[in-house]
Amino acid sequence: MVLMPTISRLRHHVSFAQVIEGETESPQRRRCECSVIEHLSAAQITLETVAMNADGCSFIIDTRDGTRFATAIRELNVAVKLRDHCARIALTRNATDWPLPKLGRLMHLLEAESIDVVHLVADANALTVVVDDRDADRVAGVFSRFYQPAA
């Protein structure tokens, strides 16, 4: 029996935060990233998702922590973009599930529904999309279109 991937988590009331460190060399960037994480930890902000790359760090946090997030890293030399009123929708699969949707097809369907993607992360086992909170149910509907049972 092959199973469909499932919407493993639909979480409303999240914020997407992007911390941009600017042009820094690797040692400086690592120190900056450590400082950001230390400040957020000291402020007791729960990080639902963390992504780090050469451009900076991004986080998904509870919307209620948005003000504390900004305050916690205010003294650091970083730029912060904070997008409130978001929802996080994750589609996950196991090895025996149908494959996840093709990204090109998914992006076309989201565009057709006029859904703006705030953040998207995909790998072989999960697809996570952050959108405006008001679009969350429509994204779940788009996901469901990929998995219609065979007759």
Task: Say which CATH number the domain at 133 has.
Answer: 3.30.70.260
Do 66 and 90 reside in the same domain of the chain?
A: no
Do 117 and 66 reside in the same domain of the chain?
A: no
Q: Which two tokens stand for residue 129?
A: 């999309």
What is the residue range of 77's domain? Answer: 13-85
Query: What is the pTM for the complete model shown?
Result: 0.82
C-alpha distances in Å from residue 58, one per residue of 15, 36, 43, 81, 115: 10, 11, 17, 9, 21
Q: What is the pLDDT of residues 16-54, one digit of tens each?
A: 999 987 666 778 888 888 999 999 999 999 999 999 887
Q: Which two tokens stand for residue 88?
A: 């996080």
* 70 found inside a domain: yes
* 151 found inside a domain: no
Do 74 and 51 reside in the same domain of the chain?
A: yes
Do 24 and 75 reside in the same domain of the chain?
A: yes
Residues 6 and 98: their CA atoms lie apart, in Å, by 10
Do 21 and 80 reside in the same domain of the chain?
A: yes
